[in-house]
Amino acid sequence: MKQSRVIVFALASALIMWAGSLQAGRQDIPIDRVPKDVIAVLNQYLKILTTSPTLEVCGERVAKIAAGHMLSRSGGISSDVMRFSLKKDYQNAKFYRAPIVITRVVKIENDYDGYGPTLFQGTRYRIWIAKKEGVAGLPAPIPIIKPASGAPKIVTTIGSL
């Protein structure tokens, strides 16, 4: 009985330390500490969503500023992302304020998205933007990764638009 308590305590302690390490590089930051090129990509994404005449054109435009799992091995928007996530963002971007109003930013050091040829690494900025007055539901973050060198990229669609 006493030995099982020790084992449970050891496992619980290990789990708490592991969960803490996951949060170590994650922190809310003031909006004015977000790099200008990250804000530029965010604005570009919302502009593409709201000005593209079709979902297909939207996908072609977004592929130029996307990385990670959003892309297929050929470099275009993956078919699953196009049919589901990007389609939802394209249809529902109209519910967000224009020009954008950033409400929260979480910075995550040493993060990545994708696998193999679509792997993209750097500092992830999860940026929440405000919805228009009277629009129900909470906004979801738009994740953008800024690599150590090169341009930042959108790595996930808004998702809950």
In sign, the C-alpha dihedral spanning 72, 77, 83, 89 is positive
Is 125 in a helix, a strand, or coil?
Answer: strand
In sign, the C-alpha dihedral spanning 110, 114, 115, 117 is negative
Q: How far is CA 49 from CA 31, 69, 148, 161, in A?
A: 23, 19, 27, 12
**How do residues 97-114 score in pLDDT, each as one tens digit?**
999 999 999 999 999 999
Which pLDDT value is given to residue 5?
Answer: 60
Which pLDDT value is given to residue 3?
Answer: 62
* C-alpha–C-alpha distance, residues 6 and 159, integer Å: 43
* C-alpha–C-alpha distance, residues 126 and 143, integer Å: 4
User: What pTM value is reported for the model?
Assistant: 0.81
Residue 143 CB contacts under 8 Å (≥ 6 apart), including other chains: 113, 124, 125, 126, 127, 154, 155, 156
- One-letter amino acid at 75 equals G
Phi then psi for residue 133, to 5 deg, are -55, 135
Number of H helices, E strands in the chain: 5, 5
Which pLDDT value is given to residue 21?
Answer: 41
- One-letter amino acid at 94 equals K
Which pLDDT value is given to residue 157?
Answer: 76
- Residues with pLDDT less than 70, the chain: 1-25, 159-161
